[in-house]
Chains A and B, each alone.
Chain A
Amino acid sequence: DQQVKQNSPSLSVQEGRISILNCDYTNSMFDYFLWYKKYPAEGPTFLISISSIKDKNEDGRFTVFLNKSAKHLSLHIVPSQPGDSAVYFCAASDRNAGNNRKLIWGLGTSLAVNP
């Protein structure tokens, strides 16, 4: 049972336009959400996170929006650049996990930014 779902396996965007990557979750106990970027043959790199007490967090070109009632979050990248081409993973952790903030991952969305 996939608790974190990224329903779009791939996304193609023109350079300079906005990229919107979506993520849905089923576990209402999740209280912390993260986005990671991953290039082939490398480990995931942390991008941005958001706590469930917020509905938006912004860092440069990256903004994450959280809609708790819909159990949905999205990552906006604007403007998109060719170097943003990578696989983007959404991950969540559970406040009931106590000291173990293990991450539950989506399957990823492969973003291609075309020059």
Chain B
Amino acid sequence: NAGVMQNPRHLVRRRGQEARLRCSPMKGHSHVYWYRQLPEEGLKFMVYLQKENIIDESGMPKERFSAEFPKEGPSILRIQQVVRGDSAAYFCASSLRTSAGNTEAFFGQGTRLTVV
């Protein structure tokens, strides 16, 4: 059972370009979370998705950022018109849902975005 797969591992974009980050959850997991880690900071929640639905996007900037988790295929985090401040490590996590609601999330290796 493959773990959470993120690609690309490293992404370099010029200011103003678009960045697309992909995340394939673990097999059987239907819950996906995106987190961002800025340099010298902890992980910050961005968005929580279930298949075809955005459940909570309260941590995502209102402009330029969007996320989707289609019925088929990976979850995509899209950043339009990137700026230098978007440079960070972006982590995707997936989880099952237990009846108790408590379950650990499994993380991918992250995508390191560098905006030049």
Contact = CB atoms under 8 A, between A and B. Distances in A.
B12 interface: no
A103 B105 contact: yes
Contact residue range for chain A? 20 to 34
Nearest to A49: B104
Interface in A32-70: 32, 34, 36, 41-46, 49, 51
Contact of A103 (B45, B56, B106): B45
Interface stretch (A14-22, A77-85, A104-112): A104-112
- Which of B95, B97, B102, B109 has the most CB atoms of chain A within a 10 A radius of its CB? B102
Interface residues of B, number: 28
B101 interface: yes
B24 to A, nearest CB: 13
Interface string B36-52: 00000111110010000
B48 A102 contact: yes
A101 B107 contact: no
Contacts of B101: 99, 101
Contacts of A46: 104-107
B21 interface: no
Interface of A: 32, 34, 36, 41-46, 49, 51, 89, 91, 93, 99-108
